[in-house]
Amino acid sequence: MWELLRRNIGRHVSLTNDDFETAESLFTFKKYRKKQFILQEGDVSRYESFIIKGCTRTYETDAGGQEHILHFGIEEWWVGDLYSSLSEKPSVYHSDCIEACEMLHITKEKQEILYAKVPAMERFFRILIQNAFIASQNRILTNLSKSGKERYNEFIAKYPLIEQRIPNHQIASYLGLTPQSLSRIRGQHSK
Amino acid sequence: MWELLRRNIGRHVSLTNDDFETAESLFTFKKYRKKQFILQEGDVSRYESFIIKGCTRTYETDAGGQEHILHFGIEEWWVGDLYSSLSEKPSVYHSDCIEACEMLHITKEKQEILYAKVPAMERFFRILIQNAFIASQNRILTNLSKSGKERYNEFIAKYPLIEQRIPNHQIASYLGLTPQSLSRIRGQHSK
DNA sequence: CGAAAATTTGACATGACTCAACTGGAGTGG
DNA sequence: CCACTCCAGTTGAGTCATGTCAAATTTTCG
């Protein structure tokens, strides 16, 4: 478990053993059941979570009750609602577990402590957000310029691991399609 | 000019006068003509830019030659291609000036120097990216769930200043619409 | 003024949505 | 272990938003 976190952090910054131990002391481990909420709309997000095991989704429920999936998470990904935890305002998102999950949490307060003790961790989180931001920009461009079929093909090429673990109607939601449309796309696809 | 930058930085972190002076010494001022490129596809982005005056766009040209606008920039916004400058790989974007611009640049190297001398600036740039990321997530959700008409109304409500300065076909591109469709939407709109 | 660019308008095509019905598998309880 | 329900996935028919192609009109700017 800690190895996963160390490897993930070590990918972007180099820390001493002491630094790692400081970091580890500030995280807490938590298990979730399938379908359990990590964050519910209206709650203020209090931590960032690192997925040790399992699979999550983060989504918004719109005025018409439709769910729109913002992103999925699997092992070694980070989940959180930056907007809510930074602004301390209620989140507009839900996050829940598609599979049973094991996570490491760090609260905002402990993150500040961590930055003070291990300044490189501020850099680490900056890099995480940068990467998330870059990915998010790419997704915007894909949504602007590609058809449903192209977006689906891109998705399965990019996230083959996710595609196998997640029901199609949720992939449809992520891609901005109805389940019916995705089903038809998948139908043609096998030509 | 420096006041604008100071105010922008001061919005997120508090610096001493010395810190500001250190920061200022690492930026360089540059003027651009209308239509001039700030960054061209294929070039490696070498700096982040702060807009003192003017208006920019950042866009991708797809396989079919179509342009898709990722974002606009006006006074007191930051422009750059994080992916390219961090990875040192050629950018896939173009950035150019819709109006004549005045900018303050900071190169990646000087940014590192700045972080070392004024650690709060690392925090400042992290916050900038966080905010950009949050905005980008919201845009994804809008693109997933809203019609062209709704996206347009949201755009003019959110960026009234931009809407007046930018040709409609570029707004269409930003919204993921053809200029024709946007024109029709605007037609109905005046009911 | 004149050329180029931007915007609008019309006719038509199409991708994706909606509503609805049907299939098949997973889980549940008697 | 079967009957029942629930949910995901598929399929069909009709509709609508938006795209495409083409042309006319207006605006911008050298």
State residue A64's pLDDT score.
81
Look up the pTM and report it: 0.92
Domain count, chain A: 1
Residue B151 lies in a domain: no
Residue B179 lies in a domain: no
Residue A136 lies in a domain: no
Residue A66 structural domain: 2-117
Asked whether residue B67 carries a pLDDT value surpassing 70, the answer given is yes
State residue B181's pLDDT score.
97
> What six digits make up the tokens of B46?
């070498």
- Contacting residues for B74 by C-beta, under 8 A, at least 6 apart: B51, B54, B55, B56, B161, B162, B165
pLDDT tens digit sequence for A86-141: 888 999 999 999 999 999 999 999 999 999 999 899 889 988 999 999 999 999 99
Residue A7 lies in a domain: yes
| CATH number of the structural domain spanning residue A73 | 2.60.120.10
Helices A108-117, A17-26: inter-axial angle, 10-degree rounding = 160
Residue A165 lies in a domain: no
State residue A191's pLDDT score.
40
State residue B159's pLDDT score.
94
Chain B positions contacting chain A at CB under 8 Å are 60, 62, 66, 68, 70, 82-83, 86, 119, 122-123, 125-126, 129-130, 132-134, 136-137, 139-141, 143-145, 173, 176
State residue A70's pLDDT score.
96
Residue A159 lies in a domain: no
Residue B182 lies in a domain: no
State residue B191's pLDDT score.
41
Which member of B70, B139, B144 has the closest CB to residue A176? B144
**Cα B123 to the chain's mean position, in Å?**
19
Residue B112 lies in a domain: yes
Say how far apart CA A132 and CA A138 lie, in whole Å: 10
Say how far apart CA B173 and CA B78 lie, in whole Å: 20
Say how far apart CA B111 and CA B115 lie, in whole Å: 6
Bridge partner list, B6: none
